[in-house]
Chain A
C-alpha cells in the first residue's frame, strides 16, 4: 500500500526536518500569535513549512487546532496523522492524542489529565504551565495568552529551534514594539530554559537550520489577493463581511492608505465601501465598473448566490468587474470555517439564461497576488465579470510562498474611449463589433462628447443600446458575446504541468489549494510504481494545453474537494471527445486534501482500470 515511511516515526534513526505538529487549544485564548511564532521560526530556519488553522465557527471557547508541517523536501500538504501533539485543551486531549502514531510525541499541560494511549509507543513531555506562570508577573487578562508562549519555548527547545531564531522571530512579529517583544520573549525563554534544564529528549524529531529561503515570503492568499488588486489599480471595492473572504478586504483596507495615495494629489485613488448585503456589494461594484473604475468585490459561496442576478446583468451589459470567491463548504450555510472546492460548477455558468464566465484559479498565495492584478486587466479588456476562485485553505492560512513579482505588463484598460477617440469613429455604437474581435468600444460617464451617451439595459438591445425584441438581433448579440469570450482563452494562465520522472501513462489533474498535496501524491505514486504526470488547471475555459494533456494520457484522475467532481464534469463537457479519459476522485469533509488519500485512491482505481484494459 501507500509508502508513507518519510512520515512515519518507525525505527531509531533521527528524523530531520520532517515533522507534523498539531497544537490543540481553545479558541479565543490567544494561541494564534504563539502558533505563528513557531511557524515563522521554522520558516526562518530555512525549512519549507505549512501552517493550517482548523478552527470552529465560534469566537471563544470551542476547540481549535493549528497544524504545522515542516518538510525540507517541500511536502507541505495536510497529513491525516500527527507526529507531535501539543495538548492545551482538556476537552479534546484524548482525541487529539489518538492522531499520534507509534513513536509520536505528546506535549501536554501537566494540570490536565494525562491521556491514555494504549497500544502505542508515545513519548510524553508534561509541561508545568501553571507552575511556570507563578514565576512571572503577568496581567490577569494576558494569562492564557502568555501560557501559550510557554509552549512555544518548550516545544521549540525540544525540537531544536535555536534560541536566537525564536528571538529574531519575536522581534519581527512585534516590529516597532520593543517592550511587547521583550515581555513575550521573556515568557518564551522561560519555557525554553525550563526544557533545556529539565526535559530529556527521547523522541526522534529534529529541526536543523538550512540555508535561508531567500526567494520566499510568508503570507496568506487573502492578503496576497488584496495586494495584487491594489497593484492592479483597483479603484473601487464594495463588500459585505463573510468568512472566509472578509480578510481579503480587510487587508486591502489596511494597505490602501499606504499604497494608494495618488502621486499627483496625495489623495486616495481607491474606495473601499462596506454595504448592506451582497446584492448591494455586487450592484455597487457593477455600477463602479460601468462608470469606468477598476472594480472588485470579495465574497464566499452564500454571497455569490446573492450576487447572481447582478453578475448576470454585468455579463449581458458587458460591464467589467472582478469577483473573488473564497470558497467554504456548502450547500447552504454549510461549514463556514472549513475549506472546499464546491463552487466551481455554480460559477462557471452563473445566472439565468445563456451565460458562461471566466474563472481564474490560483493555487498559491503568490498566484493570488498575480491573479489579483491580472483579473482586473482581463475584466476590462473583455468587458465582462471575471471570477477568482480561491478557498479558505489558500485564503486564510499562511503559506510559505514565492516572493511577489511586480506586474510585468502595464495596466490594461481595454477599449474605453474618451472624447477625442470617439470623434474618430464614423458610426460608434456601444455594442458594435468594430474590430471583428467581438469586443466593442465603450464610453463612460463624464465623457463630454454629445455622442458618448448610451442607454445600458439588461433587456434586449441592438448595437446602439436601443431596446429590441427582434429575434435576430437577440441571437446576434449573444453570439457576439460568446465570440468575445472565445478570445479570452489566450489571455488566461496556462496550466502548471509537472512531468513524472519516467514516461507516464496516466495523468492526475487538480486545481487551487490542493497543489502541495498533489505534488506529494505524484511522488508517492511513483514510489508505489505508478508514473503519473500532474497538471494543475489555473483557468476556465480550458485552453489547448489542458486539452493536450488530457489527450496524451490514457487515464486522467481529476482530484478535487467536492462531492460530484465538478472540475471533471466541466472538462468532460468542454473536451467531450476525451471525456472517457477523465475519472473523478473527489471528497468533501471540509479539510484540505492529503497526498496519502489521493495516492491510495489513484492506486486503487488504477489497479482496477489496469485489469480492465
Chain B
C-alpha cells in the first residue's frame, strides 16, 4: 500500500525542510534541535526560502547545515553571529533569521555582540545550543560550565557559570525561553512562538554534549536535565486563534499570550502561578533555580514587542536589496548644488 506523505499549508513535505546528514556525534543534543527547527518551520508553513540561517563557530554553529537545505545559510566567525545577522537583516527584512550559536560562541567570545544585538532588537530567533563546554576543540570549560565541574584534561572548573537567560533579560529581550534537548515537544512549541515574534527571541537550549560533558552531575547532561527539569508551564502553540482547543484547559489554569502575527501561545499553569510578563519574577526564578538545583524550563519572559532596528529607520516596505540602481543614485542636479555650496 502506498504511503501518503503529509504536506503543510504550502504543499511541502517535511523532507523539503531537511538538511545535509549531520556529522555531529550520534546522540548529540544539537541534532534534536535541528529536527525540531525543521519540524517547527514546516508546521508553521513557512517557505524555506523565507528563512535564513546564521551561525558562528563550534559544533552548534555547524548544525545549520543539517536543516533547511533550501534556506540561505552563513556559517561565519566565532562569536560574530549576532553582528553578521544584524547586517544581513537589512537586505530583506521579510526573510526570517534563525541565529544559531553555542555557549562558547555566545557566553565568551561573542558576549558583547549577544548583549548588543538584543539591545538593537534585530528581529531574529537567537538559539543557543548550550552544552556547557567547548566540544569542537575536545572538551574545555565554557562560561556556562558549572562551578566544580570536572573535565578530563581540565581538572576542576573554578568559576561560576553565567546564565544566558539572565543576560538576555537584563539586556532587554522581549522573548526569553529555556528548554532542553530532552524535551522536544516543549522545544518545538517555543521555536514556533519565537518565529512568530517580530523582534529578538532568545532560546537557551540545554543541549548535552554526549562526548565531553554528559556525566550525571553535569548541569548540561541528559540525566541531570531529565531528573531536575521543572517546566514552569505546559506550552501549546496555535497558529490561529480559531485553532485553539480550550476544552483541555481548566478555567483559571492557563494564560494566553498573543503573538504579533496573530498566533497564540497557551501557557498552562504547573505548580505555582508564574507570571512570564514580570521581569523581576523571571530573574528571581533563574536565581532560585540555580541555587536550589532545579532546571526551570519554559517561557521565562515575554513582553509587548518593541520597535525592531528596521522600524527605527524609515525604510521602504519592499526589500532593500531589490531596489534598482536608479533609486540608489542621487540626481546630477543635487551634485551641482553640492558643488555650489562648497565654493
Contacts and interface: CB of A to CB of B under 8 A. Distances in A.
Interface of A: 175, 216-219, 227, 230-233, 235-236, 238, 258-260, 262-265, 267-269, 271, 273, 275-277, 279-280, 283-295, 309-310, 313, 317, 403-404, 406-407, 410-411, 413, 418, 443-450, 452-459, 466-467
Contact of B48 (A277, A288, A453): A453
Given A217-B343, A280-B116, A268 B92 contact: no
Contact of B85 (A287, A295, A413, A453): A287
B5 interface: no
Contacts of B157: none
B37 to A, nearest CB: 15
B260 interface: no
A276 B321 contact: no
Interface in B307-329: 309, 313-323, 325-329
5 contacts: A217-B339, A262-B323, A267-B317, A268-B313, A313-B76
Contacts of B49: 446-450, 452-453
Contact of B74 (A264, A265, A456, A466): A456
Contact of A291 (B73, B88, B332, B343): B88
A284 B86 contact: yes
Interface of B: 20, 47-49, 52, 54, 64-65, 69-77, 80, 83-92, 94-95, 112-113, 116, 309, 313-323, 325-330, 332, 334-335, 338-339, 341-343
Contacts of A291: 87-92, 321
Contact of B338 (A280, A404, A444, A466): A404
Contacts of B92: 291-292, 444-446
Contacts of A235: 90, 320-321, 323, 328
B87 A456 contact: no
A283 B84 contact: yes
A265 B95 contact: no
A217 B335 CA distance: 12
A290 B314 contact: no
A contact face: mostly helix, strand, loop, or mixed: loop
A230 B315 CA distance: 16
B342 A219 contact: yes
A279 B330 contact: no
Contacts of B327: 262-264, 269
A287 B88 contact: yes
B48 A285 contact: no
A260 B85 contact: no
Contacts of A418: 322
B94 A294 contact: no
Contacts of B319: 446
Contact of B75 (A269, A275, A293, A458): A458
B15 to A, nearest CB: 13
B100 to A, nearest CB: 12
Question: A-B pairs with the 3 shortest C-beta distances?
Answer: A291-B91, A287-B87, A292-B321
Nearest to A401: B342
Nearest to A313: B77
A364 B323 CA distance: 31
Given A238-B87, A445-B52, A455-B75, 17 more contacts: A231-B329, A231-B335, A262-B327, A267-B314, A267-B317, A269-B315, A275-B86, A276-B112, A277-B112, A290-B91, A294-B328, A403-B339, A411-B325, A411-B328, A445-B72, A446-B319, A456-B75
Given A288-B90, A310-B80, A276 B116 contact: yes
A293, A295, A448 pick with most chain B CB within 10 angstroms: A293
Contact of B86 (A232, A238, A317, A447): A238
A230 B331 CA distance: 11
A467 B322 CA distance: 29
Given A217-B342, A292-B321, A453-B49, A265 B316 contact: yes
A75 B20 CA distance: 65
Contact of A445 (B76, B95, B317, B325): B95
Nearest to B78: A309
Contact of A218 (B74, B112, B342): B342
Given A287-B83, A446-B95, A447-B49, A454 B321 contact: no
